Amino acid sequence: MAVETYLEQGVNDFQAQSGQAIVMDPETGAILAMANYPTFDPNSYSDAYELSEIELTEAQMEYVYNEGTEEEPIYYLYTHIDPDEKIRIFQDTDNPNRWYSYTNLQGPAVYKNNTIQSIYEPGSVFKSLAMAAAINAGEVEPDTEFNCTGPIEVDEYTIDNSTHTAYGWESMTDVLVHSDNIGMAYVAELLGNSLFYSYIQAFGFGKRTDIQLDGEETGYIEYYEDWAKSELVTHAFGQGISATPIQMITAMAALANDGVLMQPYLIEKIEYADGSITEYEPEIIRQVVTGDTAEKLTAMLTAVIERGEGIQAKLEDYYVAGKTGTSQTYKYGEPLEGAGTTIGSFVGYAPLNDPQFIVLVKYDYPKTSIWGGSTAAKTFASIADFIFDYYNIPPDKN
């Protein structure tokens, strides 16, 4: 309930279209919480169809379109933040000046479990995994230096940092602290197509996690032989790859679990009427990176929180490791810009010496900020604070 409460508050505070949150035990793969908002009450299933009257301005009426027939109209209000963003609305048959929308704005779409059924580009959270691959492969170390001199040209594209900053000489730790796209392009080129692809697969992308729920999406990663050079470098900062939230938290949990990828699961045991019991034990999928690599990434991701892009997730009494993500969305191959066009996310875990939980928070199209560090990271901090208190974990900051 606490996770649902914090997620609902975040969707409302950040004016997001929707949000998802997952809490996992990284050592076992057990799902401790899984939340979507807007959501529905299974005891009042039909409430998702509830309508509320809305006021439409003259300007808004210009963007109301009937996509049905004259006999059976199907009306939508286009918001024009994204040319395809629209809200289903209904006209009063007795009074055509009165209009209604679903109270939850999504109607029966809330029945969808977006933690396993929605795919998105993970954005900069993925830098953690690309960096882990490079360290594990012996291509870089946390203190390896790179000179970020500004935008680079790759194929017909310009690769730049989101802040348009040239950071100069920086360590690989600082590449993550600054969330440096140019630095990650360098890392990707060191890895090369084949090796990078093998790590992406090893972390579980491109296939279902096989969690005990129906309808899970696979996400998508193109075969490495088909990558252009620009795709190699953009994959290193989570673009051109699609994943589900459950895939993302499962992969990141490997960094919190000495490099071991675990099978995510919801059910510990089933007791049948005849007294028989089926129990589910934690299942190791594979060792993706070494424990030493995972330890190095944890230290690097702690720096991200303490002095980098993830500072909104920083807690007063506890160290946490984590990474922000901001994913652009596209229309006709062109990136959309401005508030309400991005997907903001954050994944973090703690305590550092023995991680007992990892949390993913994702907001779809927040309007108060385009950045995951200003939205999802804040909700992570609230959830993490609650978990530290709930588990009675002693503070580890002096």
pLDDT of 183 > 80? The answer is yes
**CB-based contact 50:299 (threshold 8 Å):** no
pLDDT over 70, % of the chain: 98
Residues 96 and 199 in one domain: no
Check residue 195 and give its pLDDT.
Answer: 98
CATH code of the domain in which 162 resides: 3.40.710.10
Residues 71 and 158 in one domain: no
Residues 227 and 78 in one domain: no
Around Cβ 231, how many Cβ atoms within 10 Å?
19
Q: 96-110, 175-189, 193-207, 214-228 — which is least confidently predicted?
A: 96-110
Check residue 83 and give its pLDDT.
Answer: 57
Q: Is residue 396 part of a domain?
A: no
Residues 84 and 121 in one domain: no
Q: Is residue 246 part of a domain?
A: yes
Question: What's the token pair of residue 20?
Answer: 């998802």
φ, ψ at 201 (rounded to 5°): -65, -40
Which value, to the nearest 10 degrees, does the dihedral of the CA atoms of residues 359, 364, 365, 366 take?
-40
Q: 7-21, 84-98, 201-215, 360-374 — which is least confidently predicted?
A: 84-98
Q: Look at residues 116, 109, 173 and name the one whose alpha carbon lies nearest to residue 305.
A: 173
Convert the pLDDT of each residue in 58-108 to its tens digit: 888 988 999 999 899 999 998 765 556 788 999 999 999 999 999 888 888
Residues 24 and 56 in one domain: no
Torsion 249-253-259-262 (CA) sign: negative
Residues 150 and 283 in one domain: yes
Residue 148: band (very low, low, confident or very high) from pLDDT cuts 50, 70, 90: very high
Q: Is residue 46 part of a domain?
A: no
Residues 129 and 255 in one domain: yes
pLDDT of 331 > 80? The answer is no
Burial class (CB in 10 A: 0-12, 13-18, 19+), 90: middle
Check residue 46 and give its pLDDT.
Answer: 86
Convert the pLDDT of each residue in 260-295 to its tens digit: 999 999 999 999 999 999 999 999 999 999 999 999
Check residue 80 and give its pLDDT.
Answer: 61
Task: For the chain, list the strands marked E by DSSP.
Answer: 18-24, 31-37, 51-54, 64-66, 75-78, 86-91, 99-102, 145-148, 152-154, 157-159, 168-171, 260-262, 269-271, 277-279, 284-287, 321-328, 330-331, 334-335, 342-350, 357-364
Burial class (CB in 10 A: 0-12, 13-18, 19+), 368: middle
Q: Is residue 107 part of a domain?
A: no
Burial class (CB in 10 A: 0-12, 13-18, 19+), 358: buried
Check residue 81 and give its pLDDT.
Answer: 57
Residues 186 and 240 in one domain: yes
pTM: 0.91
pLDDT of 332 > 80? The answer is no
Radius of gyration of the chain (CA): 22
Q: Is residue 360 part of a domain?
A: yes
pLDDT over 90, % of the chain: 84
Residues 62 and 207 in one domain: no
Residues 75 and 224 in one domain: no
Domain count, the chain: 2
Residues 16 and 61 in one domain: no
Q: Look at residues 141, 245, 135, 142 and name the one whose alpha carbon lies nearest to residue 191.
A: 135
Torsion 367-243-181-347 (CA) sign: positive
| Spatial separation of the C-alpha atoms in residues 313 and 319, rounded to whole Å | 10
Convert the pLDDT of each residue in 239-248 to its tens digit: 999 999 999 9
Domain of residue 96: give its range: 51-102
Check residue 47 and give its pLDDT.
Answer: 87
Q: DSSP states of 17-50 as a string? A: SEEEEEEE-TTT-BEEEEEEES---GGGGGGGG-
Q: Is residue 108 part of a domain?
A: no
Q: Is residue 397 part of a domain?
A: no
Residues 234 and 363 in one domain: yes
Q: Is residue 266 part of a domain?
A: yes
| Spatial separation of the C-alpha atoms in residues 38 and 109, rounded to whole Å | 9
Question: What's the token pair of residue 258?
Answer: 């000495």
